[in-house]
């Protein structure tokens, strides 16, 4: 695989994000992201972008989400950038999921986003720089992880 | 979002006619499930075989749909594609719902 990279920007709304995430997944696959990793990457990417839409632009005017992908033979790095509010404490949350061992009516209907990102990405890095949030998600694409 | 509903024997089968259930359609999904399951059999089977992707908002909407049914009725899930199955497994929601590989498997269980 040669060095592949691309970027995509879209307005930070749920509808635009839904289409953007599907387009990114398709692009990654066209550029050679192995099928075995495609699902994990799409789940983490969707949760990270949804977080921007649902949290970063709360109370401020929604702007763009910019996604840059760099794909190599052994790894994929995705950078998600926005101009919204910084993450609380300026770091990615731990993402401890709510327990599902509970009564029906108490089952969690959310709060799984960061948990899923942490489960699926090999490395997570966050930077707040000049009014921008940059979240870097790295995925190791070693074939041994398939077996 | 579009749902199709049929009743077979003592189960209502609801088919999701969308390739994803995500944040953009979670609220609509929940509302559509509420109207589709207003009354009807005790057992509801949600056929997810056409859904290739779900995010945590979509998962939350399915959980909410089960709560809407109340304790006396149950929501079973059939035909989970690999990515959908993975989201259920990672969040441990696979321990909350009855999951069937296909609609036929779900209906066979029902008969037996």
For residues A25 and A1, what is the distance between their CA atoms, to the nearest angstrom?
A: 18
The three-class DSSP label of residue B1 is coil
Cα torsion B92, A50, A104, B1: sign: negative
Q: From chain A, pick out residues whose CB is under 8 angstroms from the CB of B63.
A: 107-109
Surface of B (28-67) touching A: CB under 8 A: 53, 55-57, 59-61, 63-64, 66-67
Domains in chain B: ranges and CATH = 3-111 (3.30.750.24)
Of B24, B53, B96, the CB nearest to A42: B53
What is the distance in angstroms between the Cα of A18 and the nearest Cα belonging to chain B?
Answer: 6
SS3 state of residue B17: coil
Compute the mean pLDDT over every residue in chain A, rounded to the nearest whole number: 93
Q: Say what the pLDDT of residue A61 is.
A: 84
10 Å CB burial of residue B20 (0-12, 13-18, 19+) is: buried
Residue A44 makes CB contacts below 8 A (sequence gap 6+) with A116, A117, A120, A121, A137, A139
Instruction: Report CB contact under 8 Å: B61, A109.
Output: yes
pLDDT computed for residue A143 by the predictor: 65
**Which residue, among A16, A13, A44, A51, has the nearest Cα to A28 in the 3D structure?**
A44
Per-residue pLDDT band at A144 (split at 50, 70, 90): low
Joined together, the tokens standing for residue B59 give: 């998962």
Partner residue facing B23 (CB), from A39, A40, A50: A50
> What share of chain A in percent tops pLDDT 70?
95
Give the Cβ contact number of residue B14 at 10 Å: 20
ipTM at complex level: 0.93
Residues A95-126 have pLDDT tens digits of 999 999 999 999 999 999 999 999 999 999 99
Q: What contacts A143, CB < 8 A, 6 or more positions away?
A: A34
Are B83 and A39 within 8 A, CB to CB?
Answer: yes
Chain segment B2-18, per-residue pLDDT in tens? 899 999 989 999 999 99
Residues of chain A contacting residue B86, judged by C-beta atoms under 8 Å apart: 39-40, 43
Going along chain A from its start, the domains and CATH numbers come out as: 4-146 (3.30.565.10)
The CA distance from B13 to the nearest CA of chain A, in Å, is: 21
Helix H or strand E encompassing B21: strand B20-21
| CA dihedral sign of residues A58, A83, A119, A29 | positive
pLDDT for A147 beyond 50: no
């Amino acid at each position: 695989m040669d060095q592949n990279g691309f970027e995509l920007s879209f307005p930070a709304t749920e509808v635009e994000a839904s289409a953007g995430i599907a387009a990114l997944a398709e692009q990654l696959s066209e550029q050679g992201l192995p099928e075995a990793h495609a699902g994990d990457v799409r789940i983490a990417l969707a949760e990270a972008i949804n977080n921007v839409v649902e949290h970063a632009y709360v109370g401020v005017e929604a702007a763009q989400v910019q996604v840059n992908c760099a794909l190599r033979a052994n790894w994929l790095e995705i950078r998600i950038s926005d101009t919204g509010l910084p993450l609380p404490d300026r770091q990615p949350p731990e993402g401890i999921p709510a327990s599902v061992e509970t009564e029906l009516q108490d089952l969690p209907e959310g709060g799984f986003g960061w948990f899923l990102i942490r489960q699926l990405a090999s490395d997570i890095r966050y930077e707040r720089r000049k009014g921008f949030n940059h979240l870097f998600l790295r995925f190791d694409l070693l074939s041994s992880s398939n077996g | 979002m579009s749902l199709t509903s049929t009743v077979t024997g003592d189960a209502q089968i609801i088919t999701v006619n969308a390739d994803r259930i995500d944040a953009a359609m979670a609220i609509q999904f929940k509302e559509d499930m509420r109207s589709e399951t207003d009354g009807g059999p005790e057992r509801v089977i949600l056929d997810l075989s056409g859904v290739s992707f779900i995010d945590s908002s979509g998962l939350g909407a399915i959980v909410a749909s089960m709560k809407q049914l109340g304790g006396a009725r149950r929501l079973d899930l059939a035909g989970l594609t690999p990515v959908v199955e993975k989201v259920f497994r990672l969040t441990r929601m696979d321990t909350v719902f009855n999951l069937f590989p296909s609609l036929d498997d779900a209906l066979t269980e029902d008969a037996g």
